Structure 1
Amino acid sequence: MPRHRIRRSALSASATAAVLLSVGAYPPGRSPDHAPAATASVSSVSPAATAPVTARTSEEPVVDLDAELAGAVGPLVAAAGGAAMSVAVLDSGSGAGAVYGGADATYDTASIVKVDILAALLLRAQDEKRELTAGEHGYAVAMIEKSDNDSATALLAAVGGAAGLDAANQRLGLTATAAARSWGLTRTTAADQLTLLKAVFGTDAGAVLSEASRTYLRGLMARVQADQQWGVSAAGSSWALKNGWMPRTATGLWNINSIGRVTAGGHTYLVAVLSGGQRTKESGIALVESAAKAAVGVLRAAG
């Protein structure tokens, strides 16, 4: 994902000084270091000084949104002690966005891969010019709304297993995601998850996922059951999301992830937060929610 910077125009210092000289005045409350006792009248100023001055704009130093995001999220991660995290955020309206934690840093998906699996299934149905079967629909609802694991296993098989998911991801533009037969161990990046969210929540008529497919997936993500309505939803309202949580047997530490769309301050944001090495599920959820709020806050502050 490219780094996003914001530039703001301002009147140049030289133009400002020339304008002030042309009227024989200085900024209120301030005189120059070597000013005469009385300011020269306008008529005594040389022709060169009174020549029309065209105010030109200059650009202030750019705002590096990646750096701003790092400044907001980094301290949260440091305070968590030992957790690793990557965050990607996009303002759907302005196109401004940022990534924290390394664009190439990969994490186990846990259950957020279920959005990817359903996207792959919908692509397959589109290719075959058909609707989902009753059985596929039942699995899809259970997989997204309830995060049912058996349904995910069944639908992964329906799309051709890990190889089929990888093939679908190529079409969706996910370049750093590697599917696994044990679907929760699929590896991905926050930037790739943002790409997936754009495929689901975008409005382009020529998108890989049809409008009907996108509407279907969004609807399920907006109806996850009550005990799973945490994560990026903390950053705004009118959310649609999917979370993933998975303890690792070898370490006892948790992967806690959340992806989705939220509305805040009249803007719509896509947010992906991936983490590993969380000491408990509860502390991991708290950190993910804090990071999501910080990410949206950075873009809101940038305007």
Structure 2
Amino acid sequence: MESPRARRGRRARPSRRRPLLYAVLAAVAVGGVTAGGTAYVKARAHTGTAAVSSAPSPSARSSAGAGEEASVTEPAEDRDAALGAAMARLAVPPGARVSAAVLAVDSGESAVYGDAAFDTASIVKVDILAALLLQAQDEGRRLTAAERAYAAEMIEDSDNTSATELWHTIGRAAGLDAANKRFGMTQTSGGEGELWGLTQTTAADQLVLLQQVFGAESELSAASRTYVQGLMEAVRADQRWGVSAVAEGNSWALKNGWLARSTTGLWDVNSIGRVTVDGTDCLVAVLSEGAESQAEGIALVEAAAKAAVAVFGDT
């Protein structure tokens, strides 16, 4: 749990490379079980402020007769453009910025708005746990009792001390970056020293991480995925905001992050997770910075999450 007393430092932003959503993940043998394969989203380059939609290309209709020009169906809806339009209607506080990414699980379609890097704050705790589980799989072992206790406190309560313990266990930034390379996350860079909360990431990369946690095709074993999902479904009551605002009584699993920066007094507020709305499962990541208060940041993140999921309202 981030608080104004959380450790802070100068952020170390990675180079602004263009995000790429990787859908083909390397197959690896873990505990005698091979993991990896094709993920939800097809790999595609990201240009401008939004990644290319994963909607399938329209098929060409056969020509009616020889010599006639073949006609094609209308292009599939541009989800990125729709998300961009929805985000443009949000009441973003002056000086603040927000980015969002969403994937409709059944259809495999996705949309991304914004390619800037943000501080993770506590959403990196999901990444830390995923890295820990991957390392344990490689070593052919289960988490220790102490590791499991730290993991539960880190995700369910957002406990910073527990996060720091597991940050050291995975090898800090080097360990996180090594795991993320295998996960297919190319736009995330671990924070310097003890400053795991200043890890840098993009909304598109958080969508890749969510696919690792919730997708059947993953570097993580089924048991590891189930474990992380269970903790994300059990966050304490006062942290059930963010992407869960979309669900309105339906199922959700999430991790939020919030951090008041010492240099500006402005807030980083982020939320990632899975939501189910009217039978449709969506993976959602929303990152923001520059809000004047935590409450203002939460309102912005929840509005952005609703806008993102609404893009797939007809899915």
**TM-score, normalisation: structure 2:** 0.77
Cα distance in 1 for residues equivalent to 2:59 and 2:145: 57
2:310 to 287, 297, 300: 297
- Give the equivalent residue in structure 2 for 1:165: 176
Cα distance in 1 for residues equivalent to 2:148 and 2:61: 59
Give matches, 1:216-295, under 5 Å: 216-236=227-247, 237-295=250-308
Indicate conservation of the 8 Å contact 1:10/1:60, yes or no.
no
- Give the equivalent residue in structure 1 for 2:139: 128
Matched, 1:156 2:167: yes
Cα distance in 2 for residues equivalent to 1:8 and 1:233: 33
- Give the equivalent residue in structure 2 for 1:212: 223
Deviation at 1:9, TM superposition (A): 8.1
CA RMSD, 1 decimal: 2.1
Indicate conservation of the 8 Å contact 1:263/1:269, yes or no.
yes
In structure 2, the CA distance between the partners of 1:107 and 1:228, relative to structure 1 (3 Å rule), is same
In structure 2, the CA distance between the partners of 1:164 and 1:251, relative to structure 1 (3 Å rule), is same
- Give the equivalent residue in structure 1 for 2:149: 138
The size of the alignment, in residue pairs, is 258
Indicate conservation of the 8 Å contact 1:9/1:60, yes or no.
no
Cα distance in 1 for residues equivalent to 2:93 and 2:80: 21
- Give the equivalent residue in structure 1 for 2:198: 185
Cα distance in 1 for residues equivalent to 2:216 and 2:76: 30
Indicate conservation of the 8 Å contact 1:253/1:278, yes or no.
yes
Cα distance in 2 for residues equivalent to 1:143 and 1:229: 15
2:78 to 64, 83, 95: 64
- The structure with higher relative contact order (CA 8 Å, sep 6+) is 2
**TM-score, normalisation: structure 1:** 0.80
Indicate conservation of the 8 Å contact 1:143/1:151, yes or no.
yes
Deviation at 1:75, TM superposition (A): 2.0
Amino acid in structure 2 at the alignment position of 1:211:
A
Amino acid in structure 1 at the alignment position of 2:216:
T
Runs of 5+ in structure 2 lacking a partner? 1-20, 22-43, 45-51
Runs of 5+ in structure 1 lacking a partner? 16-50
Indicate conservation of the 8 Å contact 1:92/1:269, yes or no.
yes
Cα distance in 1 for residues equivalent to 2:124 and 2:177: 12
More helix by share: 1
- Give the equivalent residue in structure 1 for 2:122: 111
- Give the equivalent residue in structure 2 for 1:48: none
- Give the equivalent residue in structure 1 for 2:29: none
- Give the equivalent residue in structure 1 for 2:89: 75
In structure 2, the CA distance between the partners of 1:11 and 1:118, relative to structure 1 (3 Å rule), is closer
Cα distance in 2 for residues equivalent to 1:62 and 1:208: 31
Cα distance in 1 for residues equivalent to 2:146 and 2:104: 36
Deviation at 1:7, TM superposition (A): 6.3
Cα distance in 2 for residues equivalent to 1:117 and 1:185: 13
**Structure number with bigger Rg:** 1
Deviation at 1:10, TM superposition (A): 11
- Give the equivalent residue in structure 2 for 1:22: none
**Alignment deviations for residues 73-115 of structure 1 (CA, whole Å, 9 cap, x no partner):** 12215x422211110000011001100012xx10000000000
Give matches, 1:4-19, under 5 Å: 4=53, 5=55
Cα distance in 2 for residues equivalent to 1:173 and 1:8: 28
- Give the equivalent residue in structure 1 for 2:14: none
